[in-house]
Amino acid sequence: MLRQAVERNFEIIGEAIRRLEKDDPETAARITDYRRIIAFRNVLIHGYDVIDPAIVWSAVEVDLAPLLADVQALLNSVG
């Protein structure tokens, strides 16, 4: 269940950034590797049968902290 929850949250994050890119490309571009995040979401959604759990866990360990920093910077810039 934990794996499914983590994957689902990455799907949601990727979808949110995909919509942001569509509606406000300049803001989306302020998120490091935003296109890679969207691509990861697409793999999770469409390639669920070939997902390597080690890749997902690597995203948790390596990619979440920079993403959080980018989102916090965006929020601070508007508030």
Confidence (pLDDT) at 46: 94
Q: Is the pLDDT of residue 17 over 90?
A: yes
Q: Which two tokens stand for residue 2?
A: 């934990």
pLDDT at residue 47 greater than cutoff 80: yes
Range of the domain at 37: 2-78
Residue 36 reports pLDDT greater than 90? yes
**Is residue 48 scored above 80 in pLDDT?**
no
> What total number of domains does the chain contain?
1
Give the C-alpha distances (Å, rounded to integers) separating 37 from 1, 67, 78, 79.
Answer: 22, 9, 23, 25
pLDDT band, very low/low/confident/very high, at 13 (cuts 50, 70, 90): very high
